[in-house]
Amino acid sequence: MAVPDYFAWTKQLFDPAGAFRKPEALRGIRVIDLGTIFLGPSTVSYLAEFGAEAIKVELPGIGDPLRAIGPIYHRNMSLFMLSEPRNKHFIGLDVRKSRGAELFRRLAAKSDVLVENFRAGTLDEWGIGYRQLREINPRLIYSGNNGFGQWGAFAESGRASYDAVAQAESGMAAITGFPGRPPLKSGGYVGDYLGAAVSAAIILAALHWRDRTGEGQFIEFSQTEQLIRSLDWTWLAHRLAGVKRTQHGNRDVAISPGDIVPCADGMAAICAPTDAAFAGLCRAMGRADLAKDSRYADAVSRAREENATALLEVIRAWAARKTRTEIEGLAAQHGFSAARVANARDHVEDPHWQARGQVVRTDDPLYGEIWNYGSPPKLSATPARVKWVGKPIGMDNNYVLRDILGLTTAEIKDLEAEGVIGKWANRPGQKPPDDWAGEGQAL
């Protein structure tokens, strides 16, 4: 069977236009999001994009700090809230009040997964921690996500943490950036987002165990420890060879040649992860002789410091005269790894990312057309989809309280009067668009 036929088949198999006509992998799984910012909430978004029913619980009139930050507002909503929360129902419920905690326990009794990102023991103190909830729902999968875990010196000293703390204390920031320059915080919240992806995958593994046995469990997830785990060869090299890993700019010091280099019209990554890729790069540079040089005969030899730096000098001189598009074309032609340093405009202008549903244009019920990045894995039978993004606080109170928990209108009014449940305050980030006419609520 010829290869071109393969791409006609995959195009049809994965066609993003067909996503809403296909089933959802996580249909029927109810997930409570009692987190703030990214580490907890993005975990829940990732599950909700594959069909889990997500219920985000926020304090009435306050809500997730994501509502209060970010560079711009659109129709009274913060940009972060238009990007990270996906497909969630929003309720305003004060779980610190005893009647609020009681409602929360009722919700947990009817849920499959709870994700929170408080400091160790916070929910336990409020009477809605794992010790209490497992009594009423032994099938519950409870994921406590934070910086330092639930026990140990750091966790028990009550230290607060954020993505950038995890980047700092794991060693990640100290190995990012250029030699002799300040340690670098990523421009993206990579510790939170990696942590959320790992956390979502752990939850799926725990769901698989529950499918087999009926047993729920507690998951303790420290994003700092996850970043330590993600620093690849750092720890092996430290003990085996005394390598004190530090900053190497854009070089990949384990795969040579590999660097991000200036080209005639911007920056591009160039890398040769195999002998064949290296030979291809040498051909593209008109330097087939290098592929025969004994210093560069195999990957381990190429990675030796003096050989790696010599190669990079040749590559830099060559790349400086080429445009990024030329280098990308030569990479495909000769089989080495290269691509431009892309920004959002590159993503939108390249038809490839659109055709893959990676650039997603959502027609949101409240906010109209919103552009976002799609969920990374593309599944042929049960693809991810974006139904809507963030909503005002408490927008779906009725759905959750009436439909799921079976409260009466009188009970709901009474809870509102007592401030146990509630909605948005009259400020951007919390309230609906000015011309809102009731759209976007699950009733």
Partner 1 sequence: MSQAENPTEAQSWSEWIRERDYPSAAGTKPEALDDLVVLDLSVANMAGLVCSSFLSEFGADVIRVEPPGGDPARGFAPFGLTQNGTGLGYLNEGRNKRHMTLNLETGEGREIFRGLAAHADVVIESFPPGAMHAWEIGYRQLAPAHPRLIYCGIATYGQFGPRAAHHIPDSDLVAQALSGVTYVTGLMDEGQGDPAAVPTKQGNWHGWFVGGVWAAFGILAALCHRMATGQGQFVDLSPAEALMRSADYSLGLLKLAGRVRERMGNLDAGAFPYTYVRCKDGYCFLSGFVDLNWQALCTIIERPDLRDKYPTVPERSRPDNQKKIHAELEAWATQYTYEEILHKIQVYDRTVGKGAVATGKITEPAEVVQVENWWERDALRIVEDAHYGELLVSPPAPKMTRTPPRLKWVCRPVGADNGAVYARFLGYGRDRLADLRSRGII
Closer residue to partner 1, CB minimum distance, 248 or 402: 248
Q: Does 105 bind partner 1 (CB under 8 A)?
A: no
193 binds partner 1 (CB under 8 A): yes
296 scored as a contact of partner 1 (CB under 8 A)? no
Q: Which of 182, 214, 286, 438 binds partner 1 (CB under 8 A)?
A: 182
The pairing of beta strand 88-93 with beta strand 53-58 = parallel
**How is 270-327 classified by DSSP, letter by letter?**
EE--SHHHHHHHHHHTT-HHHHH-GGGSSHHHHHSHHHHHHHHHHHHHHHTTS-HHHH
Q: What angle (nearest 5°) sits at the alpha carbon of residue 307, between those of residues 304 and 310? A: 145
Specify the amino acid at residue 299. Answer: A
b vs e for 127-163, b when ≥16 Cβ sit within 10 Å of the residue's Cβ? bbbbeebbeebeebbbbbbbbbbbeeebbeeeeebbb
User: Of 137, 176, 323, 398, which lies in the binding site for partner 1, with binding defined by CB under 8 A?
Assistant: 176
Give the nearer residue to partner 1 in terms of CB position, either 348 or 409: 348
- Select 302 or 407, whichever has its Cβ closest to partner 1: 302
CB of 107 to partner 1, least distance (A): 19
Binds partner 1 by CB under 8 A, chosen from 59, 126, 186, 264: 186
Which residue from 18, 20, 98, 231 is in contact with partner 1, where contact means CB under 8 A?
231
Among 105, 106, 185, 431, binds partner 1 (CB under 8 A): 185
Residues 343-362 that bind partner 1 (CB under 8 A): 343-348, 350-353, 355-356, 358-359
Helix axes 163-170, 190-213, angle to 10 degrees: 90
DSSP-assigned letter for residue 167: H
Residue 370 contacts by C-beta under 8 Å, 6 or more apart in sequence? 82, 83, 361, 362, 364, 389
How many residues touch partner 1 under the rule CB under 8 A: the total is: 188
Nearer Cβ to partner 1, position 53 or 84? 84
Assess 275 for contact with partner 1 (CB under 8 A).
Answer: yes
Tally of residues, the chain: 443
> Any residues with CB less than 8 A from the CB of 77 and at least 6 apart, and which?
67, 366, 367, 390, 392, 428, 429, 433
Q: Which one among 274, 325, 408, 409 touches partner 1, defined by CB under 8 A?
A: 274
Q: Which stretch binds partner 1 (CB under 8 A): 73-81, 95-103, 283-291, 431-439?
A: 73-81
Residue with smaller CB distance to partner 1, 5 or 438:
5
Residue from 263, 277, 285, 400 touching partner 1 (CB under 8 A): that is: 277
Q: Does 63 bind partner 1 (CB under 8 A)?
A: no
- Could you say which DSSP state residue 29 is in? -
> Considering only residues 292, 313, 332, 363, which one is a binding residue for partner 1 as defined by CB under 8 A?
332
Active-site amino acid positions: 192
Cβ contact 202:184 at 8 Å:
no
62 vs 442 by CB, closer to partner 1: 62
Choices 99-107, 236-244, 287-295, 406-414 (CB under 8 A): range interacting with partner 1: 236-244
The Cα–Cα gap between 217 and 366 comes to 37
Closest to partner 1 by CB, 351 vs 438, is 351
Binding of residue 286 to partner 1 (CB under 8 A): no
Contact between 9 and partner 1 (CB under 8 A)? yes
The stretch near partner 1 (CB under 8 A) out of 102-110, 327-335, 397-405, 412-420 is: 327-335
Mode of pairing for the β-strands spanning 368-373 and 337-340:
unpaired
**Which of 92-100, 104-112, 168-176, 430-438 is the region at the interface with partner 1 (rule: CB under 8 A)?**
168-176
Contacts 24+ apart (CB under 8 A), 367-375: 367/74, 367/75, 367/77, 367/82, 367/433, 368/75, 370/82, 370/83, 372/82, 372/83, 373/347, 374/16, 375/46, 375/49, 375/50
Site for partner 1 in 383-442 (CB under 8 A): none
**Is the peptide bond preceding residue 257 cis, with omega within 30 degrees of 0?**
yes
Residue 320 interacts with partner 1 (CB under 8 A)? no
Give min distance, CB of 34 to partner 1, in A: 16
Sites for partner 1 among residues 116-155 (CB under 8 A): 120-121, 124-125, 129-131, 135, 148-155
Contact, 261 vs 316, CB < 8 A? yes
State how far the Cα of 37 lies from the Cα of 43, in Å rounded to an integer.
Answer: 11
**Residue 170 binds partner 1, judged by CB under 8 A:** yes
- Under the binding rule (CB under 8 A), the answer on residue 202 touching partner 1 is yes
